[in-house]
A and B are shown apart, each in its own frame.
Chain A
Amino acid sequence: MSFMEQSRNQAPRGWRKILYINWPLVLLVIAVSSFGFLMLYSVAGGELDRWARPQMTRFAAGLVIMFVVAFIPLSFWRQVSPLAYVFGLVLLVVVMFFGSRGMGAQRWIDLGFIQLQPSEVMKIALVMVLALYYDWLEPKKVSRPLYVLLPLLMIAVPAMMVVVQPDLGTGILLVLSGGVVMFLAGVSYWYFGAALSLAIGAVVAVMLSRGTGWQLLNNYQYRRIDVFLDPSLDPLGAGYHITQSKIALGSGGLSGRGFMEGTQSRLNFLPEKQTDFIFTTMAEEFGYIGTTILLILYTLIMIFAISAALKNKNRFGALLIGGIAATFFFYFALNMAMVMGLAPVVGVPLPLVSYGGSAMMVLLGAFGLIQSAHIHRPR
């Protein structure tokens, strides 16, 4: 554990840490979130108090959390990783029995001041515990079956618990984020090839099981798949979301209708216009130029995060940054693909932009972890 001593020796101390923060990343996060405030203001029809102001308040709180997390030495986070994972599992069990229902799924724990979504916590905790696992594991052992099975279980248990909530989108995100950490850790390509084949096999099995006694998914999930493949099957029912979303997106054109000039979301043609479908409002009002700018901002976040991971010689830190960045990536890529009709509607918010308290807090906390790994990296 000598490299830990070394890193502690070379790491900045006290308030000087603020100078070592990865500031471009912070500014990019603020820029994307501000984009979100604008959109929340717009979809509320120019009403600040409806969504924009609460979102800004939470963002401010989230920033505080981010800095606090960033200033705490990475060694602390390394040590609490298993605890965070267990805590996440406990929360998932709790939500199974005591959670509030929302949108047909049991996902929330009402803590009074905030509605906590355990699956959000789990996304980060899973990345943390996997990073710790591969930091502990000798690199040459990573591809041994027994050492592959353990992280797979660590991923599968929470993922299954989330899927039965049911929240397929977050379940897939958990699998993908965990997979990315395994990938970065150097697990053999053969396993990923096998996993891909398994996934394809699973899809085939899911489709074949339809209507039989051992049907693997709920009917509404099958319907989403059908409608995803052909939205015109049900333009006013299940396909309504996709159809309306594409109309709003496409009608924005190159430069958009202008801020506050969007018609589709304001006239309620769009569902969940302030959460999962907020990207369409942005697309309608700011056009292709606006959506490209947002995509560039997200890409820049990814570039800064990945380069931070590459610079980080601490294996735990590098894996943590890479895993969190990948989770973030899956968030926005899935959301955009979903609203643009490239992926089924699985209910993934647009990170930092969609209205929602706990997702925002957890995400900013995760960026705090990235910063902590960055500040406390070995030099």
Chain B
Amino acid sequence: MKKPINTAHEKNRSLTRRALVLGGMQAAVIGVLNWRMRDLQVTQSSEFRLLAEENRIRDRLIEPERGLIFDRNGIALAQNNPNYRIVMIREQAENAPLVLAELARIIDLPPEKREAIYNEMRKRAPFVPVAVAEQLSWEDFARVSANAPSLPGIITEVGLNRFYPMKEDYSHIIGYVGPVSEYDLERFKNPDPVLQIPGFQTGKTGVERELEDLLRGVAGSKRVEINAVGRVMRELGRNNGKKGADIQLTLDHDLQNYAQYRMQGESAAAVVMDVHSGDVRALASTPGFDPNQFIFGIEADYWNGLIEDEYRPLADKTISGAYPPGSTVKMVTALAALEEGLVDPKEEIYCRGFIDLGNRRFHCWKRGGHGNMDLTNGLKQSCDVYYYEISQRVGIEKMALMARRFGFGAKPPLPLPSLSSGLVPNMQWKFDRYNERWQVGDTLNAAIGQGFVLASPTQLAVMTARLASGRMVQPRIIQRIDGVAEPVEQAPSLQLKPENLDLMRLGMFRVSNETRGTAYSSRIDEPSMAMAGKTGTAQVKGISLAEREAGLADKEDVPWRFRDHALFVGFAPYDNPRYSISVVIEHGGSGSKAAAPVARDIMLRALYGTTPPIEAYPRNLWSEIREQQAQEPPPNPRAAPADGSDRA
């Protein structure tokens, strides 16, 4: 206590003062800190809360399951099989080519494929998953999954993959799906985000394409919480979306399968239709192709084989083929004349094998002539001269109107792509098209379905159905959508005199059931199933009459592509029509020899629903038919109906 008290006191006062100043400054700093806390946590809180949600929450799309396609009996025609696949996300793989090289040691992945995948990844945003391999075997899939830790960015997943169990049978009707292309994205007006899912498949042709909106369903989404490197930590919520609608077609698989089989080896088309409802029972076009080959991108060899085949397997001949219908349109010509009262059914016209018009001679198919022909006899023997005569009385305009009434010249209302509308010529059309006046000769050609007239096999089946039912039946191939039956209304009447229609039916009956009828040899011998029909033999453009007369007419000598098209239309049973049929065999020769037997076999199959009894055939054909039936393979392996009988 030797030190002066003043100094010690002064010293402590100074320290106290300084400590209080310091404390004050610290209090100010603490105040600023608290103000900042308040600013961030209270004032701007909602903004940061939003940013935090964005930080951790991602919405991921869930691929909807594509709707299935069934035949009328519930047999699956397009189904979804599990697909073990691998996708890769570039931003998660530090060195994508290295990871791909690593992956190639586990599964088969040639360098050029790796390069293609890498290029694809670089084209897209770094976080977009890109398909690396599809349809792996379970073993490969398991191996990749087990090695996942050493393959950053590689994700294994189980997807669904379209499968067409009936292969060639429905290649044209159902079509196929394939990966979404740039073209597809442009095609859809409002592209669904689900299309961006890697490997997502969309309909490319056929019903798959035309009913895409129904089949695709609605994408679901799952809300996941991710961490800073994008790994999914947990699922916060899920909306499963909506499965695509199941489509049930009016087609009958047994019949379709049989028709495809019956016409194999030919370039041909056959259409079977219910004459009342318009339900299409078979829509067969040969040759077909295996739509499964298209799903993951077709192999070049298979593709080249398809496009180089002169039988045109890719074309659906039933709807897009446009053929000169030949004599199968004679009913339309006759009805045009009958309705106008320009011909009496009893009136006989003499056929001497040709008629002369100015300096041109128009031949009947029968060089020697048919002699006297009345209406139904003219149909039965398909006398061309008879129709040359009556068509001159009616004129092309009336004939064209009648043809349109039977469905020619307009696209049938089917959900299928590349529908042909055929062609119904008239004076105006020719003037517009060729800037030429209509000639009487053009009328004569049109009367027998030659010249400008074109029709698709579907249109021919519709025409026959309308003749049989007397109503404006429209074809349809969709029976139910998601279990809900598509409404069928009774078609409006054709507004034709019943006695005239009866005459046509009678004529067609005589074609198939009387000696000298052009389809007599292909008749059905069971009276309750009797078929009424009409043959047609259509000349192919490019073969001149001169060549024909020079002896090239003999079928075997003519190159395939110059031979006549063989056609047949018919309905059965005659007494109580149920089905109409049209058959076109490209370059098959004559309708009575090539098309009529095929039509008979398919029609019998439709009528009996199974292999018809031998008694339905004329006795002289029994041995031949027995042999034919014995060679018939069992039906295409049938998938079990997907869920019970309610679809049937």
Contacts and interface: CB of A to CB of B under 8 A. Distances in A.
A298 B42 CA distance: 21
B49 A337 contact: no
Interface string B8-20: 0011101110110
A180 B33 contact: no
Interface stretch (B21-29, B106-114, B309-317, B355-363): B21-29
B18 A186 contact: yes
Contacts of B372: none
A244 B51 CA distance: 9
Interface stretch (A49-57, A210-218, A283-291): A283-291
Contacts of B437: none
Contacts of A186: 11, 14-15, 18
B98 interface: no
Contacts of B56: 263-264, 267, 269
A318 B15 contact: yes
Contacts of A310: 16, 19
A306 interface: yes
A247 B7 CA distance: 55
Interface stretch (A8-16, A248-256, A366-374): A248-256
Interface string A202-226: 0000000000000000000000000
B9 to A, nearest CB: 10
B8 to A, nearest CB: 8
Given A267-B227, A268-B229, A302-B26, A288 B42 contact: yes
A340 B37 contact: yes
A295 interface: yes
A322 interface: yes
B233 interface: yes
B36 A253 contact: no
A313 interface: yes
Interface string B211-255: 000000000000001111100010000000000000000000000
Contacts of A252: 41, 45
Interface in A263-311: 263-264, 267-269, 283-284, 287-288, 291-292, 295, 298-299, 302-303, 306, 309-310
B40 A246 contact: yes
Contact of B22 (A244, A246, A298, A322): A322
A91 B45 CA distance: 45
B2 interface: yes
A267 B228 contact: yes
A337 B48 CA distance: 18
Nearest to B45: A253
A139 interface: yes
B44 interface: yes
Nearest to A186: B14
B127 to A, nearest CB: 13
A326 interface: yes
Nearest to A329: B26
Contact of B37 (A184, A247, A288, A306): A288
Contacts of B46: 253
B547 to A, nearest CB: 79
Contacts of A318: 15, 19
A56 B150 CA distance: 37
A99 to B, nearest CB: 30
A263 B56 CA distance: 8
A333 B41 contact: no
B28 to A, nearest CB: 11
B420 to A, nearest CB: 58
A186 B40 CA distance: 38
A344 to B, nearest CB: 15
A340 B55 contact: no
B30 interface: yes
Top 6 nearest A-B pairs by Cβ distance? A250-B48, A251-B52, A288-B41, A267-B227, A253-B45, A268-B228
Given A250-B48, A252-B41, A309-B19, 16 more contacts: A3-B1, A244-B55, A249-B48, A250-B52, A251-B48, A267-B227, A269-B56, A283-B37, A287-B41, A298-B30, A302-B23, A303-B23, A322-B15, A326-B22, A337-B36, A340-B40
Interface of A: 2-3, 6, 139, 180, 183-186, 244, 246-254, 263-264, 267-269, 283-284, 287-288, 291-292, 295, 298-299, 302-303, 306, 309-310, 313, 315, 318-319, 322, 326, 329, 333, 336-337, 340, 342
16 contacts: A183-B18, A184-B18, A246-B40, A250-B40, A251-B52, A264-B52, A267-B55, A288-B37, A288-B42, A303-B23, A306-B22, A315-B11, A319-B15, A322-B22, A336-B33, A340-B37
